[in-house]
Amino acid sequence: MVVYALIALIAGVVCGRLAGDFPVFEFLLAHSEMVLNFLMFSVGVSIGFQKGVFAKIRQYHIKALIIPALVIVGSFAGGLIGCAVTGYPLAEGTAIASCMGWYSLGGITIEQLSGGMYGGIAFLSNLMREILSFFLIPLLIKWLNAASCIAAAGATSEDTTLPMMMKYTTEEYVVLSVINGALCSAAVPVMITLCYQIFG
């Protein structure tokens, strides 16, 4: 997935440079909101396919919600700290951090709201979160616990980093990882909107 994401990024840069010569690229740029809506629809379908998620939430009760709630709060708080260190505007900084590793949605949404520079930062920083998760999960399970592995992965804990969860954690935490990823993914567009409403 990381390799595919990097290939997509490079291909996007090339397409952007050629946009003036190819009408299809101009069409996609002019209809980026449609692309974003399709992306959100596909996420909804993905969550809907996870038939056991809602049953497991009922089974685990509040325990299933603690990790995603803390991931959301922690990511937002990290954005505030990042803004203080880098001097980024609060709306953009907290929104970027609130993507929780979902670089594709974060990049296109924040690009629409704040321009290409912040969209690129959102894409790259959240891609880095996913890449770092692959390396950190074995260390976190050794030094801390399985919940910290899920927290590091953020929204990616239901898909791209799930194999690492399966390798290094127990079946119970694999289930909690899927729940966390689904709930964090659902929360990303809400959090981005809230960040801009609060600080914009």
Q: What tens digit of pLDDT does each residue of 74-84 get?
A: 999 999 999 99
Which range of residues forms the domain containing residue 111?
A: 51-199
Per the confidence metrics, is the pTM higher than 0.85? no
How many domains does one find in the chain? Answer: 1
Q: What pLDDT score was predicted for residue 182?
A: 86
Would the pLDDT of 39 be above 90? no
Asked, for residue 8, whether it belongs to a domain, the answer is no
Asked, for residue 76, whether it belongs to a domain, the answer is yes
Q: State the CB neighbour count (10 A cutoff) for residue 49.
A: 8
Q: What tens digit of pLDDT does each residue of 8-20 get?
A: 667 777 776 665 5
Asked, for residue 128, whether it belongs to a domain, the answer is yes
Asked, for residue 14, whether it belongs to a domain, the answer is no
Q: How confident is the model at residue 29 (pLDDT cuts 50, 70, 90)?
A: low
Asked, for residue 45, whether it belongs to a domain, the answer is no
Asked, for residue 15, whether it belongs to a domain, the answer is no
Q: pLDDT > 90: what percent of the chain? A: 39
Q: What pLDDT score was predicted for residue 78?
A: 94
Q: What pLDDT score was predicted for residue 126?
A: 92
